Structure 1
Amino acid sequence: MTANLHSPERQLIELRMEHADLDATIDYLVEHKPLDELMLQRLKKRRLALRDKISRLELSLDPKEPA
């Protein structure tokens, strides 16, 4: 059962959840003033890094077949 907790599929789900949480946080910060630009930049960088990590994991789970 512990192997399932560390499976790539589980990691992908957790990364997507974290990405969605960051989206919601960023949206909230943009709508409510005062706006901390530095924190917003850091959150956006983190969100982008997560998106890249999700993409790499998706490719490793479902590699494209050559045409």
Structure 2
Amino acid sequence: MTIEARIRELGNRHRMLDQTIQRELNHPSVDTLQVKELKQKKLRLKEEITILEQRAH
């Protein structure tokens, strides 16, 4: 898999996590622990994307 393909894949996962977080936040009984874990996963993905983008340039 090329770096660009990996970046796209991670970007898609990042967007999906963002959508999941938004759904959870709009839910009447928000599970704050789950939202926190999802946000941490999203941040790790963003960090990995940034590292790969730096490598690609």
> Which structure has the greater CA radius of gyration?
1
CA-atom RMSD in angstroms: 0.6
1:13 corresponds in structure 2 to 8
2:20 corresponds in structure 1 to 25
Q: TM-score normalized by structure 2? A: 0.95
For 1:17 and 1:30, how far apart are their aligned partners in 2? 20
Over 3 Å off, 4+ runs: none
Deviation of 1:52 after TM superposition, in Å, equals 0.3
Deviation of 1:27 after TM superposition, in Å, equals 0.6
Deviation of 1:32 after TM superposition, in Å, equals 1.1
The sequence identity of aligned pairs, in percent, is: 32
Structure 1 counterpart of 2:15, which letter? A
Equivalent residue in structure 1 for 2:46, among 37, 45, 51: 51
Deviation of 1:33 after TM superposition, in Å, equals 1.6
Which ranges of structure 2 fall in alignment gaps of 5 or more residues?
none
Which ranges of structure 1 fall in alignment gaps of 5 or more residues?
1-5, 63-67
For 2:28 and 2:38, how far apart are their aligned partners in 1? 16
For 1:49 and 1:33, how far apart are their aligned partners in 2? 27
Query: How many residue pairs get matched?
Result: 57
Q: TM-score normalized by structure 1? A: 0.82
Q: Which has the higher contact order (CA 8 A, sep 6+)?
A: 2
